[in-house]
Amino acid sequence: MSERKGPRRYFYRLAPPTGYHELARLEFQALTGDSAPEAPPWAEREEPSTVPRIAWARVGAGVQRSAYVAECCRLLARAEDFGGLLKVATKLHLGVERFRVRVHKMRGIDAPGSNDIQRMVADVIDGRPDLDRPAAEMVVIAEPGQWLLGELVSRTARGWAGHEQRPHQYSAALPPRLARALVNLVAPPGDRLLDPCCGVGTVLVEAAAIGVRAVGCDINRRLVEHAAANLCHHGLEAELTTGDGREVRGRFDGAVLDLPYGYASRRIEGVYRGLVARAVEVARLVAVVTVDDVSELLTRLGAEIIGTAAVMKGHLVRRVHWARGPGGDREGRARTWSCGSVSRTARDAPS
């Protein structure tokens, strides 16, 4: 993915939980087209403060649908310490009506309290504050050796929060927040996304929630029915079919493939290869999640690796592979599921 040209005048606050920074970097790249700073290797990280929390881009992108990118701000002032930031901000002669100041300080920063920072920054802005219904938000971010003042462009809506509440659970299902990030890697709103092993529909819920046209398939009919129930629980819709994900037909903008892991995975290695091959064939962008490194397989299949990420949770390490595939051109067939009933006007995909 080529990066845009020009100065990086927008800064973004990354807010991934421990173990998810590498995936946050990929999501940031998908949303902005720019690259976020790399974190030190896991073995060299002593504390969360060693993980970069600020990323810069040439565009001010909307991050309302993001999982790990918390805010986007247009840069107004930058300095090494708070005193320097106030001096730079004063010279700008900022005029803003109905504004509010918000502060984010990394742990260990030697600085006044957040309330004092808010008051002092507000004092150098010509305008009337409005803490309840502000028309503009000024954001101050402090990290070691750098203080930033920016005007908020967009903030995550945390739309994935609460999606873990659903009628049907599955122990191996992806967390909704992780699933949201995977969707953002391959499909913006309006695109058509495939999940060929949809399980109980975690990825489908996150896709449908942001306006992606979600298509799911699973060889287990009971899981497909559970996915339909979970979608209906959140008032969402997707196309669902019972069938082998290796036989999916159609053309998709993106695909998310979460391969099962554990002792049983060794016995179905050939199935894995078939699923990955079909996803790469029919989708323009793919996000493959597995415990193994499948970069070589993706390359052999003609896909271009855009980025990889290790997602850490306890002793479990998931590997995310983000790639661009050659795509497919065969006309697809799917059954449309709606809340309360199943539409049978569309043809069934082969099972």
Give me the torsion for CA of 239, 240, 244, 245, rounded to 10°. 40
pLDDT level of residue 330 (50, 70, 90 thresholds): very low
Q: What is the per-residue pLDDT for 188? A: 96
Q: Which of 103-112, 162-171, 186-195 has the lowest mean pLDDT?
A: 103-112
d(CA 334, CA 347): 6
Q: Given this model, what pLDDT does residue 40 score?
A: 59
Mean pLDDT of the chain: 87
Give the separation between CA 218 and CA 231, rounded to whole angstroms: 15
pLDDT at 338: 37
pLDDT digits (tens, 9 = 90+) for 128-139: 999 999 999 999
Q: 153 versus 8: which is more confidently predicted?
A: 153
Between 47-56, 180-189, 284-293, the lowest mean confidence (pLDDT) is in 47-56
Q: Domain segments of the chain: what residues?
A: 10-155, 176-342
Overall residue count recorded for the chain in this entry: 351
In SS3 terms, 46-96 reads as: CCHHHCCCEEEECCCCCCCCCCCEEEEEEEEEEECCHHHHHHHHHHHCCEC
pLDDT at res. 317? 87
d(CA 257, CA 286): 8
Assigned fold of 10-155: VC0802-like (3.30.2130)
pLDDT, mean of residues 161-173: 90
Instruction: Inform me whether the pLDDT recorded for 204 exceeds 50.
Output: yes
Instruction: Specify the CATH class of 176-342 in words.
Output: alpha beta
pLDDT higher than threshold 70 for residue 290: yes
